[in-house]
Structure 1
Amino acid sequence: MIIKVNNKEMELSSQASLQQLAETLQMPDKGVAVAVNNQMIPRTKWSETILQENDQVVVIKAACGG
C-alpha cells in the first residue's frame, strides 16, 4: 500500500502498524510526535494503529536550541 510520510510517498505492506513504520524509519525512542490524517497518535497506541492506503502521516521531531 502507498501512504504519505511528511508529503513523500512510501510503500508499506498491507496491515502495517504505526509502530512498524516507526521501526522502518528508525525513529528515536523519544522526542517524536506522529499524526495520522491530522490526528495525533500517542506512542502507546502506535502498535495498535493500523495504517490504511493513502493515509497522511506527519512525523515531528523535537529540536533543541533557542
Structure 2
Amino acid sequence: MGVQLNGEFINLPEHIVFVSDLLKHYQIQDKVVVVEVNGEILTSTEHQSTRLSDKDRIEIVHFVGGG
C-alpha cells in the first residue's frame, strides 16, 4: 500500500496493517511520539487499533532530548 509519510510517498511492506506496526517497522515504538493520520491526532492507545489504508497521510513526530 502506498502512503504519504511525513510528506514523502512510500510503499509500505504488506505486514504493516496498523499504526503500531509502522512504529515497530521504523523502530520507534518505545519512543514518545505524536502520530497524525489524515489530519487526526491519535492517542497512544489508538496506535494498535488504527488500520492504515492506501493513500493515507501520516505524520510522525518524535522528541529528542538535548540541551
TM surpasses 0.5: yes
CA apart distance, 1:15? 6.8
Aligned residues: 66
Quote the residue 1:10 is aligned against.
10
**Distance (Å, rounded) in 1 between the aligned partners of 2:52 and 2:58:** 9
Q: Which ranges in structure 2 are unaligned for 5 or more consecutive residues?
A: none
Q: Which ranges in structure 1 are unaligned for 5 or more consecutive residues?
A: none
Percentage of pairs with the same residue:
26
Deviation string, structure 1 residues 6-41 (Cα, Å, up to 9, x no partner): 011221227711010001111152321100011001
- C-alpha contact 1:3 1:11 (8 A) present in aligned 2: yes
**Distance (Å, rounded) in 1 between the aligned partners of 2:51 and 2:15:** 9
Return the TM-score normalized by structure 2: 0.82
Relative to its length, the structure with more helix (as a share) is 1
CA apart distance, 1:63? 3.5
Q: Could you list the runs of 4 or more consecutive aligned residues of structure 1 that deviate by over 6 angstroms after TM superposition?
A: none
Task: Let me know the Cα RMSD of the aligned residues.
Answer: 1.9
